[in-house]
Copies of this chain bind each other. A is one copy, B any other.
């Protein structure tokens, strides 16, 4: 992706065997993921890709969870944060940045899922958070921005995790069908409100819905102050 490495070890020929580095491992992992999905990014498969043994990877990466976190951060480092400093309505710019975050995660939905469990902490993530805070600065106080950024990213991440994995999962659509069937066959007596809504309930998280969600969150944030700390604020 960056630049062509000029044949590092190569005793004579060989595709290179690029000498293990943390960065190289992460890059290879992203490659495998793009080609075969995160499910195939296992230590063993990855070692094979790098022409080494699985055990070697543990010199550079603590475990699979850390590997995933590194992969995600690499992706986040590629985000376009220019809207942060652009002209125009801060709300619109905020939504734009959030959308670009969701877009990245939706392309690699399994990573989104792992981000839900292991909170990222790399430079890519910190950059994003800092940008979002800058945008929120225009609209809310700092303490509220702190919770707000968490809420917004949380929503964005979990939406991506949900959507994406669902596309792939369980033979695409079968699940949807099952739910649709359930709703259709549901006695209006047992679940009256669901029956009344019918299929609208699963119109699914299209783009409209995500944008609506962002707007709900932002409006809500603007209207809801943080509660005053009740117990001593410094209590560990």
A residues at B contact (CB < 8 Å): 65, 113, 116-119, 121, 126-127, 129-130, 133-134, 137, 142-143, 145-147, 149-151, 154-155, 157-159, 161-162, 165-166, 169-170, 175, 178-179, 182, 186, 190-194, 196-197, 200-201, 203, 205, 208-209, 211-213, 215-221, 223-224, 226-227, 230
Contacts and interface: CB of A to CB of B under 8 A. Distances in A.
B113 A117 contact: yes
A197 B208 CA distance: 33
A223 B224 CA distance: 12
A76 to B, nearest CB: 14
A208 B220 contact: no
B116 A170 contact: no
Nearest to A193: B133
A65 B174 CA distance: 13
B159 A154 contact: yes
A191 B126 CA distance: 7
Nearest to A180: B121
Contact of A194 (B133, B169, B217, B226): B133
Given A130-B193, A130-B194, A146-B197, A117 B215 contact: no
Contact of A224 (B205, B216, B226): B216
A57 B133 CA distance: 50
A126 B194 contact: yes
